[in-house]
Structure 1
Amino acid sequence: MSSAEMNRSNTRVTTDERKEMQGENLTIGGFFFLEGFSRYPKLEIVLFVFSLGMYLITLLGNSTLILITILDPHLQTPMYLFLGNLSFMDICYTSASIPTLLVNLLSSQKTIVFSGCAVQMYLSLSMGSTECVLLAVMAYDRYVAICNPLRYPIIMNRQVCVQLATVSWMTGCLTALLETSCALQIPLCGNLINHFTCEILAVLKLACTSSLLMDMTMLVVSVLLLPIPMLLICISYVFILSTILRISSAEGRSKAFSTCGAHLTVVILYYGAALSMYLKPSSSSSQEVDKIISLLYGVLTPMLNPIIYSLRNKEVKDAVKKLLGQISLHQTHENL
């Protein structure tokens, strides 16, 4: 055997050993490559501008909603308590993945350390899961407000609202902890994630072997957080619609529709995107489409939530105008 052949043989052995070690020890101080949209380098600048703009609007819109629900006494109601929680979740959800995406879109080294990937996966799962439950809680709130208006202050008192919000957060955070801990224990053969974020389904495609525990965990959590909340939302809106149709005056029906129209729009956007991502068969040919859907799901929906509630709700618009007026007045006094 010539020296060149021996070198090629040693190189193959070294590469094979590295791959084997990578599959066994990737989770100990390792890192991942995020492929993202690197196949389309000319598109990356466009995506950077698009994502940055959407992210800034998301931060501004949701921060404004949180601020007015805290400062405006007229918005100290259950609906706006839940809306403030929803806005905080949207800020956390986008902040878990979009800053990394923005850095990687401008960088040739699209990497993320293992600990950062784990945190990103957990935050995305926990915020998304919490939002699923919270949207069902908000549907119940609208059901009580429209179907039992006289008992609404008693049923949806402050203590009950805080408890419902707490249950939403605990459910989302605990299920995300379960999924993330199971996913991180699976040996991975490779470190190239065909996604722009550490999305759990994309990471699990690197698994060396299938895991029955992981599959069962994903199935149980998916049923708990998608079909069950959706069923509760649908039942709530069946009763809401039935009650609204029995209202004699057109003005009363219009007012009743306006109180739940924004929430229903957000539900359709959120669950429509979530179902298209997680309940459709995955294939390599659809991976690029999955990334585009995931980007829209992660940026567009959180950005639209405050806009939808602002456009559909006179109280929110009045509170925003009042806040802007106070800021303008404060700046005028400072200039004087």
Structure 2
Amino acid sequence: MDKCIAYPIMPLLRLTFGLIVLICCFVLLFALPNSPLQYPIQGYTVQPLSSSVIPGSGEKELIIKSRSLELLNDVLVKVSYTSTVYHINTGDLGLHSQIFFLVYNNSQVTIATKTFLRYEQLKVLLDSIRKFYSTIKVIVADDNFEPEHITGENIQHYIMPPAQGWFAGRNLAVSQVTTKYFLWVDDDFLFTEKTKIEKLVEVMEAVPELDVVGGSVKENQFYFSLIYEEGEETEGGCLYRKSNKKLHSVPGYPQCFLASGVVNFFLARTDAVQRVGFDPKLQRIAHSEFFMDGLGYLLVATCGDVSIDHQHVARSARYRKFRNPRKEDSEFKLQLHFFKNHLKCIKYG
């Protein structure tokens, strides 16, 4: 188990289809500070060539599944980890093993969405969520003209004044989230076997600096980068949005890459997104604008191995009337960017 010597063992406990799953993975353990500085810390130390009653195995990963938390705890008491490499400087960081326990269950994540003129699609979405996550909390912001009652266990339905817009609905939904993370989905999405929330949580927990991790929608990952060129003090700078442009991979997760913005299916740290917020002045087309406002505040990544499906439903004429932007909407959006963010130009490519 040589590779265990350089990194801590982080067992990840997650609930999937009613099973309690313990996964041991290898990540470096840092203490999170109240300042921009962080530092590595020592956890549980295993003496060279000795055994300790702690989860471990001869492989990189140990998975223990159980439907009973009590049974799982009983198993953990009897599983031991054995150090197999001797070094005189065993107290040095990187030459000993650390043990850190992280518990994940449905109480860590809330699913949030906004609905408008698509109750049928919303009900299909909720049914698909319950198929894979039977108890996870779902928050629905609703600005329909004729509200319907949306009921169900762990579903919170908030009715807004009619046609307030997408970002106003996002603000309302996210303001009611009390969990560490929330998963944003559109009301016409569809959960599948590939919609693994726990995979996104694993990445966020392993890389605490990340604020948003996106997946893909019907195999469309959609990500973009934002480049800001500072201009003169009197006229502002220029912002360039480049589609399908990503940065380097996330350490330890080659399927994930850093980017500036991601598709409209993402897991986010609640407190980080609440600090940036969604500008309620933008009512129609406004997805990229959230990431533009978050530039310099949010660290974003995209992971291609987690996906969600999209329902194939024809849009009604009434819905299209509100969905499609008018010329004055596009002009107002640019004016808002220029004045709010002190820009002289925005370019899309």
- Larger gyration radius, structure 1 or structure 2: 1
Indicate the TM-score class for this superposition, using the shorter chain for normalisation.
Answer: under 0.3
Q: Which structure has more strand as a fraction of its residues? A: 2
- Normalising by structure 1, we get a TM-score of 0.23
- Normalising by structure 2, we get a TM-score of 0.23
Q: Which structure has more helix as a fraction of its residues? A: 1
